Structure 1
Amino acid sequence: MTRLAALDLGSNSFHLLVADTRPRGRIKRVTTRKKTIRLGEPVSRTGRLGSEAFGRAVEAFTTLVELADDEGADKVIAVGTEALRVAEDGPEFLQQMKDRHGVPVQLLDGLDEAALSLKGMACALNLPPEQEVLGLDLGGGSLEVALGGTNGMVSGATFPLGGAKLVDRISDPPRLHERAALHAMAMELIQPAADKVLAARTTPDEPLVALATAGSIRDIARFGLALTSGSAPAKVRGMMVSREQMELAYSRLCSVDAHDRMDLPGISSKRADLLPAAGISVLAAMEAFGLQSITLCDWGLREGVLLDLGADGHIVDHDFVVDREDRRG
């Protein structure tokens, strides 16, 4: 058994997952931690993290690395996503973290991010080997889609449609014409790619099962379930939510401002302001891919990173994996 730690440096939050390896390439969670630092908005506005977000990122990274050490992680891998991919001062941040903590950061491209998220979801939901699914992962900076299953991604796409990237384009609450314009823009980006991804299906005559991960999607889905069933579920893994429920939730979310949104069932106060923008992205994706429902999952990118690492996969670059003793030395 080896104890692994993954740092997922997202556009909205930095996440830590510590997990133990298990037989047949599986993992068992030991602990998780999240630090919400909101890198996506300054990067979207200025192209840079800027001093305030840079400082928040340093503090969060330090806290999570120290927690990984406290939990006895034998190996640490850190991966960066959209905000760190595009920020002009992103390389400076990455170099500082390597110098201070001995942890280099592998910047994932969007397709690798999509493939790893699919790997995490497929494992969590115990998909049979022959099952073909579409995975959706909506972060603060980007939306990833991946077609495939337990054997990996067959086709995928990535879009700059994260909630934090889009939030400045609409009012709070958003006006109808703003929502319509943003939806049209999202469809213009997604539809051509969706057609190409769907053309790669191996079972085109079968209904397409869609899996979805990420906090924004789960919040909207929980609220939709609360509106139709009377309560928001605490655990959502494997729960199916219809497009109608998602649309109903989105309409209600857009009828109030962020402050009032925080009081709605199933909504996290830390992302309440992002949900109208995030909702446009997920609903546009459902429309473009012809999805009538999604199945929710609480595993995604960071679980996929550790699964890929534990199974000696081809996405995680082992040059970025740091042994505990090497860091201490």
Structure 2
Amino acid sequence: MDLGTNTFHLLIAEPDAENFFKELQHEYVGVKLGEGGINEGTIKPDAYQRGLDTLISFQGIIEQHKVSKVKAIATSALRSASNGQQFIDEVKQYTGIHIETISGDTEAGYIYQGVRASGCLGTETSLIMDIGGGSVEFILTNNHEIFYKQSFEIGAARLMAKFHQTDPIAPHEVTSLNKYLDKQLDPLYSALTNHSISNLIGSSGAFETFAELIELGKNKTFDLKENKTYYFKEEELLKHTNQIIHANHDERAATKGIIPVRVDMIVVASLLTQYVMQKLEVSNVVMSAYSLKEGVLAELFCI
């Protein structure tokens, strides 16, 4: 289980010699655990109850599959919430599920393992970016080693609450957001001083939406189970992220390919993606459908 700030995932799988793992069931629920309280460091009552109800439901599915090994990973929202431990204790009481809250550094490590398993890392140096609701992880790496990794508390839910106050987002809000990112990501720029980046790899989340929108725009279907990786054309990615940025809520909600939980947060995710591409002068962008949960599987399966 990947218990994120926006979405709770349950992935039930078994080892597979050819394809890393065989998926038995994958459930995801837009819990929005950080809604209304992410920047205050608390889980609001409605979000708290949604999270609890979802994990009670997950436990029923786990029992149906007679799962032998369970691992539940919590990230930024539970990591930083003042009532996070209370939530963890209640989940244990009602379901028996033990939630492990991991550090941002550990989260980045799992993301690396997941992306590596997707097969999109090579000998060249790549920068992995995982845009979560509470945090964003950056990993500078190739297929053999990690040069740098760091988690920043600038996730889409935090940025949206802080900067996306009008809809569509106003130019002055975009300017403020970019200035904020300049300051917050200074440690990243320092770490990249002596490295040349060949690719920006976006792990799951918003990048899945970008890929699906592009393919739907060509009247093609896009199935994540069939596409572990996707190689963007720069002009297509910029075109579709610009459309997202300039659309209002109703327009985004009516757009096929944008799932409900991403309708609003996809705006700041688009801005963050464009910002990093421009700041680091990277035009080669790749999507990896594998991320944290697949990295956890890699550990469980000793891959």
TM over 0.5: yes
Question: Is structure 2 residue 138 aligned with structure 1 residue 178?
Answer: no
Q: Alignment partner for residue 257 of structure 1, among 232, 235, 248? A: 248
| Aligned partners of 2:120 and 2:288 also within 8 Å | no
Give the share of equivalent positions with the same residue, in percent: 22
Aligned-partner Cα distance in 2 for 1:50–1:40: 8
SS for the counterpart of 1:34 is strand
Displacement of 1:45 in angstroms is 4.4
Once the two structures are TM-superposed, the CA of residue 152 in structure 1 deviates from its matched residue by 5.0
The answer on whether the counterparts of 2:204 and 2:287 sit within 8 Å (CA) in structure 1 is no
Displacement of 1:60 in angstroms is 0.8
Q: Please state if 1:274 is matched with 2:268.
A: no
Report Cα offsets for 1:244-302 as digits up to 9, x if no partner.
Answer: 33332222112221111122242223311111112122222223333212111211100
1:213 to 191, 200, 203: 203
Give the equivalent residue in structure 2 for 1:73: 67
- 1:193 equivalent in structure 2: 188
- Following superposition, the deviation at residue 243 of structure 1 comes to 3.9
Q: Any idea what SS the aligned residue of 1:254 has? A: helix
Contact in 1 for aligned 2:34/2:47 (Cα 8 Å): no
2:146 to 135, 153, 159: 153
Distance across 1 between alignment mates of 2:236 and 2:185: 22
Question: Relative to 1, partners in 2 of residues 1:38 and 1:223: Cα closer, same or farther, differing over 3 Å?
Answer: same
2:166 is equivalent to residue 166 of structure 1: no
Residue 301 to residue 260, structure 1, CA distance change in 2 (3 Å):
same
1:292 to 266, 271, 283: 283
Q: Are the structure 2 counterparts of residues 309 and 288 from structure 1 closer, same or farther at C-alpha, using a change threshold of 3 Å?
A: farther
**Under a length normalisation based on structure 2, what TM-score does the superposition of the two structures give?**
0.89
Question: Amino acid of the residue matched to residue 229 of structure 2?
Answer: G
Query: CA separation in 2, counterparts of 1:100 and 1:243?
Result: 48
Task: Tell me which residue corresponds to 2:21.
Answer: 27
1:94 aligns to what SS in structure 2? helix
Contact 1:208–1:291 (Cα < 8 Å) also in 2: yes
TM norm structure 1: 0.82
In the alignment, does 2:41 pair up with 1:47?
yes
Note closer, same or farther for the CA distance 1:218–1:177 as it changes in structure 2 (3 Å cut). same
Structure 1 residue ranges, 4+ long, deviating more than 6 angstroms after superposition? none
Indicate the RMSD between aligned Cα atoms, in angstroms. Answer: 2.4
- 2:261 is paired with a residue whose SS is coil
Q: 1:303-326: per-residue Cα shift (whole Å, max 9, x none)?
A: 1011012218xxxxxxxxxxxxxx
2:54 is aligned to 60
Instruction: List runs of 5+ in structure 1 lacking aligned partners.
Output: 1-6, 313-329
User: What are the Cα deviations for residues 68-104 of structure 1, in whole angstroms up to 9, with x where unaligned?
Assistant: 2212211000110110010110000011112232222
Residue 292 of structure 1 aligns to a residue whose secondary structure is: coil
Residue 54 of structure 1 deviates from its aligned partner by 0.8
- Aligned pair count? 299
